[in-house]
Amino acid sequence: MRSLPASAAALCALLAAAPALAADPLPLWADDGAQAKIVAFVESVTEEGGAGYVEPSRRIAVFDNDGTLWSEQPVYFQAVFALDYLKAQAAKDPSILTSPALKAGAAGDLEALAATGMDGLLEVIEVSHAGLSVEAFQDRARDWATTATHPTTGLTYAQMTYAPMVELLGYLRDNGFATWIVSGGGVDFIRGFAEAAYGIPPWQVVGTRGNTEWDPATKTVMKTGGATLIDDKEGKPVGIAQQIGVRPILAFGNSDGDYQMLDYVTSGEGPSLGLIVHHTDAEREFAYDRDGHIGVLDKGLDDAEGRGWVIVDMKSEWSKIWSGE
Amino acid sequence: MRSLPASAAALCALLAAAPALAADPLPLWADDGAQAKIVAFVESVTEEGGAGYVEPSRRIAVFDNDGTLWSEQPVYFQAVFALDYLKAQAAKDPSILTSPALKAGAAGDLEALAATGMDGLLEVIEVSHAGLSVEAFQDRARDWATTATHPTTGLTYAQMTYAPMVELLGYLRDNGFATWIVSGGGVDFIRGFAEAAYGIPPWQVVGTRGNTEWDPATKTVMKTGGATLIDDKEGKPVGIAQQIGVRPILAFGNSDGDYQMLDYVTSGEGPSLGLIVHHTDAEREFAYDRDGHIGVLDKGLDDAEGRGWVIVDMKSEWSKIWSGE
């Protein structure tokens, strides 16, 4: 074997000896701040024999969706989906607009729709979310998320997932974690696109759950309207207990709707990590917290330091926002 | 290298050349009957490029628990658990017996308990199934299942899982399947022992689901009594849609309580397999079907042939019954 030049040999020795030169595990994240804390946590729970070791089956990470994995401005994307469907149906058959709420929704008059109150909003939701099978509804959600486009970014909604968060999901899975969504959004809406968008399969999605019934005629489970679980605030620990059945060890949210989930996950006996996306980037995304019309982050901001929850400053910590840009 | 004797060399050549000599995949099952159909199905869905191929993430198998994975005679084991707990509590504090149903239950007078109707039975269940956290309840169930013993076999209840079914669960997982329980029994009761007994983690258990509430004082999810999902009959497809979100491809039950689950699973577009345990072994287990006081199998027996569902004759097809014997 021909011997290497001395300089190359020295370089090889250096590379072999220097774990510090390992590839950046989260290249879209700033090196200090949240990334350092995430990596330290993951290294601790995966170190066999270490004091913080957690067996792979219990490495369960839960993520809010709206405002955490994808954007939620100017309104929850699922509301746009519902209105888009209502408009399309009304264009084919205006006689379906049997109430002031439905008329306002189909006209895109959000002020008039809001004036009809929660009952009016639910009426709009029902039109697009009931009277079909779970499978057909997931298809409807998938088609919409991958074709409809956002008014200001021009991207499809499925392209408006946060690239650093998708990267984080993969990093956690590479380290033996199971990644779950625990969202106030509709479970079947999210299931329609979560596998392609996030690598999260349908059975790892917990969400607000509509009523359903077995239909022996079509051999399907039909969505019948209304809801049997509101998976928000105190509903999030309940949804986790119902579907996961054990306490996760990592939770990531962005609003006070995630407070109880963070509280639950970081109050177990073993190691845990809580994180919060802080929307600070008016230029590339949106900037809002305590006074947001949705996605309000107030108590979480107050309590994060005392609880050891990590605030992720979107503007300074993420080098890229949208997966699809 | 020393050469082998001729006879040994011939044996080696034979072993290497003969796939037919491969180990029996399900040694506790008779070779013909259900085993042949299960193995043919598994080979078909796992054959890459084959017409029946199913990608690993969609190889989802659902199993009833009572009467399918473990025994259910002379009464559902969960009922024994509830009565055992009631008796133990009443021994410490008889003042808890505030109704005829609770008095009958604590006295072991099943006839008097039955006379109090469904309300009385629910009262007994509530004593053992409410007022504690999901985690504490799972521990209670685990302790009971691994220590209390059955009146006729003398085995612990956890030892009364069916060895051939536990073997089948492992065989399916070895072939890329995810194995789920979908039971009329309580989800947290089953989660207490399913991982040790079956290798099925808590998040792959669907069952009858009690009401729960987030308790910010103890940072736990508390069981508050009553039920929000009855996961039996038409409730089984609903429970599957809620927690799994896609249609499974293999279902295994034992009673008409599993009919809708079998119907759902075997009505999808792709390949599927439905199976039913038939309790035919009065000597080693129990024998009952159409006239059972629980676990009635009537319509399933009538329709199995027409639907292509495989009836498993316990007496002739299983060489062993109990995992713990």
Tens of pLDDT, residue by residue over B19-33, are 445 689 999 999 989
The verdict on a CB contact (< 8 Å) between A264 and B238 is: no
Tens of pLDDT, residue by residue over A166-215, are 999 999 999 999 999 999 999 999 999 999 999 999 999 999 999 999 99
pLDDT at position B122 is 85
Out of A202, A244, A246, closest to residue B246 by CB: A202
**Cα–Cα dist A112/A186, whole Å:** 24
Share of chain A above pLDDT 70, in %: 93
Split at pLDDT 50, 70, 90, the class of A11 is: low
What distance lies between CA A298 and its chain's CA centroid?
A: 19
Best CA proximity match to A194, nearest among A179, A209, A208, A184: A179
- Chain B residues with CB under 8 Å of A242 CB are 187, 209, 212, 243
List, in order, residues 6 or more apart from A78 with CB less than 8 Å away: A66, A185, A186, A189
> Residue A17 pLDDT > 60, yes or no?
no
- Chain A residues with CB under 8 Å of B134 CB are 241, 245
SS3 assignment for chain A: CCCCCHHHHHHHHHHHHCHHHCCCCCCCECCCCHHHHHHHHHHHHHCCCCCCCCCHHHCEEEECCECCCECCCCCCHHHHHHHHHHHHHHHHCHHHCCCHHHHHHHHCCHHHHHHCHHHHHHHHHHHHHCCEEHHHHHHHHHHHHHHCECCCCCCEHHHHEEHHHHHHHHHHHHCCCEEEEEEEEEHHHHHCCHHHHHCCCHHHEEEEEEEEEEECCCCEEEEEEEEEECCCCCHHHHHHHHHCCCCCCEEEECCHHHHHHHHHHCCCCCCCEEEEEEEECCCCCCEECCCCCCCCCCHHHHHHHHHCCEEEEHHHHECCCECCC
> Residue A297 pLDDT > 60, yes or no?
yes
pTM comes to 0.93
DSSP state of B28: T
Q: What is the mean pLDDT of residues B157-172?
A: 98
pLDDT at position B110 is 87
- Cβ contact B260:A206 at 8 Å: no
The verdict on a CB contact (< 8 Å) between B57 and A201 is: yes
Does any CB of chain B come closer than 8 Å to the CB of residue A264? yes
Split at pLDDT 50, 70, 90, the class of A72 is: very high
- Chain A residues with CB under 8 Å of B203 CB are 203, 243-246
- What mean pLDDT, rounded, does chain A reach? 93
pLDDT at position B118 is 83
Split at pLDDT 50, 70, 90, the class of B9 is: low
pLDDT at position A7 is 58
Does any CB of chain B come closer than 8 Å to the CB of residue A212? yes
Does any CB of chain B come closer than 8 Å to the CB of residue A138? yes
- Chain B residues with CB under 8 Å of A241 CB are 134, 212, 221
What residues 59-118 of chain B have any CB closer than 8 A to a CB of chain A?
Answer: none
Which listed CATH number (3.30.200.20, 3.40.50.1000, 3.40.50.11900, 3.30.70.580) goes with B26-76+135-317?
3.40.50.1000
Split at pLDDT 50, 70, 90, the class of A117 is: confident
pLDDT at position B114 is 87
Written out in words, the top-level CATH class of the domain with range A25-73+137-317 is: alpha beta
The verdict on a CB contact (< 8 Å) between B212 and A240 is: no
Does any CB of chain B come closer than 8 Å to the CB of residue A243? yes
Tens of pLDDT, residue by residue over B187-206, are 999 999 999 999 999 999 99
Tens of pLDDT, residue by residue over B229-238, are 999 999 999 9
Q: Phi first, then psi: what are they for A183, rounded to 5°?
A: -125, 150
> Residue A56 pLDDT > 50, yes or no?
yes
Answer with the residue of higher pLDDT: B154 or A8. Answer: B154
> Residue B267 pLDDT > 60, yes or no?
yes
Split at pLDDT 50, 70, 90, the class of A110 is: confident
Split at pLDDT 50, 70, 90, the class of A114 is: confident
Out of A219, A236, A263, closest to residue B219 by CB: A263
pLDDT at position B165 is 98
What distance lies between CA B134 and its chain's CA centroid?
A: 20
Report the SS3 class of residue B5. coil
Dihedral sign for Cα atoms in the order A257, A262, A264, A267: negative
pLDDT at position A1 is 41
pLDDT at position A199 is 98
**Cα–Cα dist B88/B14, whole Å:** 62
Sorted by where each begins, the domain ranges of chain A are: 25-73+137-317, 78-134
DSSP state of B293: S
Compute the nearest-CA separation of A37 from chain B (Å): 24
Does any CB of chain A come closer than 8 Å to the CB of residue B201? yes
Tens of pLDDT, residue by residue over A267-294, are 999 999 999 999 999 999 999 999 988 9
Split at pLDDT 50, 70, 90, the class of B292 is: confident
> Residue B106 pLDDT > 70, yes or no?
yes
SS3 content of chain B, % helix, strand, coil (to 5): 45, 20, 35
**Strand ranges (E), B160-249:** 178-186, 205-215, 220-229
The verdict on a CB contact (< 8 Å) between A238 and B214 is: yes
Compute the nearest-CA separation of A117 from chain B (Å): 27
Stretch among A8-22, A53-67, A115-129 having the lowest mean pLDDT: A8-22
